[in-house]
A and B are shown apart, each in its own frame.
Chain A
Amino acid sequence: MERHPDTLRLDLPATNKYLNVLGACLDAFIERINGVAEPRITAYNIQLAVNEIFANIVAHAYGDAPDGRVDVVVMLATDPRRLLIELSDTGSAFDPETVAEPDFEDVQIHGYGLFLARSLLDDVTYVRCPDGNTWRLIKYL
């Protein structure tokens, strides 16, 4: 991702313990962007989508192993204005195609995470890299 002066970079332990920190950072970042439609709902949706991808990395890329890291880069791009968020890890590969959409007729316990991320953002791309995984998220603002 091309770095913009306003790029925010977080290096977080791969644990769900800091989901609240990640969420608060995203909220604060979005709060300082002028002219966002429905800012509170937009911020919530972005926070939730990123939360789901992060928790997915913790559970699947690292299998809840304690020493992994997740690199999170948040950037506001222009023309068109959009929030770009990248989450990178050095864990195991993940195949998003194996994740089924939730069955709304027969409510289930799991399977809402990626559905939420894909529903709330404009683009969710998973890339397997030689040394890990990268998730690229886009939300037009």
Chain B
Amino acid sequence: MDLNLSEHIVRTVVIAPSQRIDAFNAPELRAALDQQIEGGARRFVLDLTNVPFLDSAGMAVLVRLLKRARDQGGDVRLVWPTEEAARRIIRLTKFDRVFTMAETAAAALVDF
């Protein structure tokens, strides 16, 4: 039987920073994510569980990643931060409508 089988693997990366993300270190995160995109990753889970603080520069990195991933046919899932104030900021900026949100990285991976 000729099955004409082909396998398609979409590389998925989980990133789980554990420090504050602000205008000082956001460029470092952006560079790391750019490197992953250029290396072929298309699906990203940004696990914000242990991120104690996220400013607009960090949020800009997330949006940039989303645009770049989608341009390549991929997508980004966010895991809610534990910090309630940070969760409220994600709602305030409506990031929870732009990104698909998950409570855990495992749930985010299932969602892809």
On whether the beta carbons of B22 and A51 are closer than 8 Å, the reply is yes
The residue among B20, B23, B66, B83 with the most chain A CB atoms within 10 A of its own CB is B23
Whether, in the assembled complex, A124 has its beta carbon less than 8 Å from a beta carbon of chain B, the answer is no
Known contacts being A102-B93, A112-B93, is A48 close to B55, with CB within 8 Å? Answer: yes
- The B85-112 residues at the A interface (CB cut-off 8 A) are 85-86, 88-89, 92-95, 97-98
Q: Mark B48-90, 1 if CB is under 8 A from A, else 0.
A: 0000010111011001101100000000000000011110110
| Contact of A44 with B86 in the complex, beta carbons under 8 Å | yes
Q: Which of B24, B57, B95, B97 contacts A20 (CB 8 A)?
A: B24
A116 within 8 A of B: yes
The interface centre, meaning the residue of B55, B60, B64 with most chain A CB atoms within 10 A of its CB, is B55
**A78 CB within 8 Å of chain B:** no
User: Inside 8 A of A108's CB, which chain B residues have their CB?
Assistant: 63
List the A side residues contacting B67 at CB < 8 Å: 109
Across the interface, do B24 and A19 meet the contact criterion of CB distance under 8 Å? Answer: yes
Assembly CA distance A52 to B86 (angstroms):
15
Binary flags per residue of A57-89, CB closer than 8 Å to B gives 1, else 0: 011000000000000000000000000000000
Q: Given A41-B85, A102-B93, A110 and B53 touching (CB < 8 A)? A: no
**Does A133 count as interface, using CB distance less than 8 angstroms?**
no
Partner pick for B22 among A20, A41, A44, CB 8 A cutoff: A20
Do A55 and B85 touch across chains, with their CB atoms under 8 A apart? no
Q: What are the residues of chain B within 8 A of A113 when measuring CB–CB?
A: 55-57
Interchain CB contact under 8 A, A48 and B89: yes
Q: Are A16 and B23 in contact (CB under 8 A)?
A: yes
Chain A residue at smallest Cβ distance from B64: A109
Q: How far is the CA of A58 from the CA of B88 in the complex (A)?
A: 26
Q: Which A residues are in CB contact (< 8 Å) with B63? A: 107-109
0/1 string, A21-55, CB within 8 A of B gives 1: 00100000000000000001100110110011001
Chain A residues with Cβ below 8 Å from B56 are 52, 55, 110, 112-113, 116
- Nearest first, the 9 A-B pairs at minimum CB distance are A44-B85, A112-B56, A16-B24, A16-B23, A55-B23, A113-B56, A41-B85, A107-B98, A104-B94
